[in-house]
């Protein structure tokens, strides 16, 4: 019987916590579809793997060894929505680990033009490849593909892992992974340590109670919060950490404000959050920027606009959602500035003059995507032990 995406609707409409088990295998991620799958244990494990891959990649011997890890595997990159970083960093991650990859980026070049269904396409990819990494404009499509693979597996047919590399305006779990990895590395406070050593001790004189790691921090998200999938995925992932607070700054437009699903998720997770309509807003008399430990900027997702949205946004003053050198002065001196990118070159929510600021982390963040995604592949293909063995062989414990 020919399957249709709507056949999966009953499974899709179940609560997340019910579905989650179907995307795991023996404590590992079998498919990665939702950011909610990323639990603290996974995050810690993946960060450690990413650090090891990064370190081994520094030498030719290490790189050669890494390339042998998955040289027997093939990856399919199925990206039917524009991408620079996610596509290229996944491809680079595959190359680091020796996987060969192929791509379909334009369905017009595939047999979908001959009315092949997207689900048939996916099943065909699974015949030739060992993992499907996919980005789609359609929310829920990667989830349906994971169900398709699970059904095939239960019929003892060939089935491969599905990785969601961005679905509609809904989810971008691998971006959350690299964002958390970047924040974790930044809050080690050691990369800028001088000869006298401890930067954290220095900072603690001014910001008492500052700790390493992602817990005990205030995160400020700014921009298109309603339609930005990276915001939804990262905010969800951050709920794994203790004693965090979130500030959400967005234009006062129903589609751009924090959506009710994320609001509910944060309430359930007992996260303190506040919503504002400007980066200049204050909380109990203090500038929100001066209370922020990590700033996450995003662009307005104009590709989702209807003509009415465009008209409404054209009427609005969006400058309160742009970072300026004056606003930067209020931001804590250690607070990393993240942006999933692309930034809007016309609007310039982060002007290029800010790139030289030591807190500007977005280019590093994009590069971290390569290490984080390589770590994810190592985890999903269950070769973490081999990687640790390699590392031990090169560097000892
Ligand atoms: N590149 C990210 C995404 O695909 C963020 C963005 O496009 O604004 O979701
Ligand atoms: N951050 C991100 O997903 O970038 P791309 O859309 O270029 O892949």
Q: Pairing mode, if any, of strands 218-222 and 162-167? A: unpaired
Ligand that lies nearest to the alpha carbon of residue 170, given by its number in the listed order: 1
Nearest-atom index, ligand 1, CA of 84: 1
Asked if 153 and 214 touch (Cβ cutoff 8 Å), the reply is no
| Cα–ligand 2 centroid distance for 397 (angstroms) | 35
What are the φ/ψ torsions at residue 199 (nearest 5 degrees)? -70, -35
**What does the pLDDT read at residue 192?**
52
Ligand 2 atom closest to the Cα of residue 84 is 7
Report strand pairing: 245-249 vs 337-338: unpaired
- Closest C-alpha to ligand 1, atom 7: 342
Tell me if the bond preceding 130 is cis, omega within 30° of 0: no
| Helix, strand, or coil (residue 374) | helix
Which tokens belong to 89?
């960093």
pLDDT in tens, 25-55: 998 999 999 999 999 999 999 999 999 999 9
SS3 216: coil
Q: Which ligand is nearest to the CA of 86?
A: 2
Which residues, 6 or more positions from 85, have their beta carbon under 8 angstroms from its beta carbon? 340, 341, 366, 369
Mutate to test the pocket of ligand 2, among 339, 341, 363, 364 (most ligand atoms within 8 A of CB): 341
In tens, the pLDDT along 262-290 reads: 999 999 999 999 999 999 999 999 999 99
pLDDT score of 395: 87
Contact 350, 33 (CB under 8 A): no
Determine the distance separating the centroid of ligand 1 and the alpha carbon of 180, expressed in angstroms.
16
171 secondary structure, DSSP code:
B
Instruction: Check whether 204 has a pLDDT greater than 80.
Output: yes
Ligand number nearest CA of 182 is 2
Q: What is the rounded CA–CA span in Å between residue 216 and residue 256?
A: 27
Residue 1: per-residue pLDDT: 54
pLDDT at 226 over 80: yes
Radius of gyration of the chain (CA): 21
* pLDDT-derived band at 110, boundaries 50, 70, 90: confident
230 lines ligand 1 (CB under 6 A): yes
Convert the pLDDT of each residue in 310-350 to its tens digit: 999 999 999 999 999 999 999 999 999 999 999 999 999 99
Q: Can you name the residues that pair with 297 across neighbouring β-strands? A: 222
Question: What per-residue confidence (pLDDT) applies to 111?
Answer: 87
- Assign 113 a pLDDT band (cuts: 50, 70, 90): confident
Whole-number pLDDT of residue 2: 60
Check pocket membership of 172 for ligand 1, CB cut-off 6 A: yes
Atom of ligand 2 nearest to the CA of 340: 1
Report residue 296's pLDDT band, with 50, 70 and 90 as the boundaries.
very high
Q: Please state, in angstroms and rounded to a whole number, the distance separating the CA atoms of residues 227 and 25.
A: 31
* Alpha-helix runs per DSSP H in the chain: 9-12, 16-19, 40-56, 60-67, 85-97, 118-128, 141-154, 173-186, 199-206, 229-238, 260-268, 307-315, 325-330, 362-380, 384-395
Provide the residue count of the chain: 397
CA distances from 346 to 71, 234, 300, 315 (A): 42, 25, 11, 17
Q: Which has the closest alpha carbon to 350: 220, 223, 247, 234?
A: 223
Is the pLDDT score of 68 beyond 70? yes
> 318: which 2 tokens?
């969006």
Mean predicted confidence (pLDDT) in 356-381: 98
C-alpha distances in angstroms, 277 versus 149, 168, 224, 318? 43, 25, 11, 10
Confidence bin at 190 (pLDDT 50/70/90): confident
Task: Name the pLDDT band for 193 (thresholds 50, 70, 90).
Answer: very low
Instruction: Please give the mean pLDDT across all residues of the chain.
Output: 95
- Residue 18 binned pLDDT confidence (cut-offs 50, 70, 90): very high
Regarding the beta carbon of 299 and ligand 1, being less than 6 Å apart is answered: yes
Q: Which domains does the chain have, with CATH numbers?
A: 6-171+368-395 (3.40.50.1370), 175-188+209-301+310-367 (3.40.50.1370)
User: Hey, which of 175, 338, 343 would you mutate to test ligand 1's pocket, going by the most ligand atoms within 8 Å of its Cβ?
Assistant: 175
Task: Tell me which of 35, 80, 81, 85 to substitute to probe ligand 2's pocket, judged by most ligand atoms within 8 Å of the beta carbon.
Answer: 85
| Distance in Å, CA 330 to ligand 1 centroid | 27
Model confidence pLDDT, tens digit, residues 139-188: 999 999 999 999 999 999 999 999 999 999 999 999 999 999 999 999 99
């Amino acid at each position: 019987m020919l399957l249709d995406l709507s056949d999966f609707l009953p499974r899709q409409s179940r609560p997340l916590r019910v579905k989650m088990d179907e995307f795991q295998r023996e404590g590992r991620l079998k498919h990665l579809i939702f950011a909610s799958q990323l639990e603290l244990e996974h995050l810690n494990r993946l960060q450690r793997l990413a650090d090891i891959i990064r370190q081994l990649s520094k030498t030719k011997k290490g790189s050669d060894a890494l390339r042998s890890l998955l040289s027997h595997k093939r990856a399919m990159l199925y990206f039917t929505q524009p991408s620079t970083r996610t596509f290229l960093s996944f491809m680079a991650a595959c190359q680091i680990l020796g996987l060969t990859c192929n791509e379909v980026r334009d369905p017009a070049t595939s047999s979908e033009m001959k009315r092949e269904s997207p689900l048939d396409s996916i099943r065909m990819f699974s015949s030739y490849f060992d993992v499907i990494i996919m980005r789609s404009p359609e929310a829920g499509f990667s989830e349906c593909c994971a169900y398709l693979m699970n059904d095939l597996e239960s019929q003892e047919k060939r089935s491969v892992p599905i990785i969601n590399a961005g679905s509609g305006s809904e989810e971008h779990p691998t971006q959350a992974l690299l964002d958390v990895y970047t924040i974790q590395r930044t809050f080690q406070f050691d990369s800028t340590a001088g000869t006298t050593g401890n930067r954290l001790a220095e900072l603690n004189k001014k910001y008492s109670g500052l700790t390493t790691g992602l817990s005990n921090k205030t995160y400020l998200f700014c921009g298109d919060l309603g339609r930005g999938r990276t915001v939804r995925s990262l905010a969800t992932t951050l709920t794994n950490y203790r004693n965090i607070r979130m500030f959400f700054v967005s234009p006062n437009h129903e589609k751009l404000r924090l959506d009710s699903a994320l609001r509910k998720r944060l309430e359930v997770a007992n996260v303190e959050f506040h919503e504002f309509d400007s980066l200049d807003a204050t909380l109990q008399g203090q500038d929100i920027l001066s209370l922020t430990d990590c700033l996450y900027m995003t662009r307005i997702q104009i590709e989702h606009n209807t003509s009415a949205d465009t008209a409404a946004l054209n009427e609005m003053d969006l400058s309160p959602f742009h970072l300026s050198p004056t606003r930067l002065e209020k931001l804590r001196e250690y607070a990393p500035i993240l942006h999933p990118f692309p930034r809007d070159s016309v609007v310039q929510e982060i002007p290029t003059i800010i790139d030289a600021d030591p807190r500007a982390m977005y280019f590093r963040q994009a590069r971290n995507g390569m290490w984080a995604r390589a770590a994810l592949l190592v985890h999903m293909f269950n070769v973490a032990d081999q990687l640790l063995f390699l590392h031990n062989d090169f560097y000892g414990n």
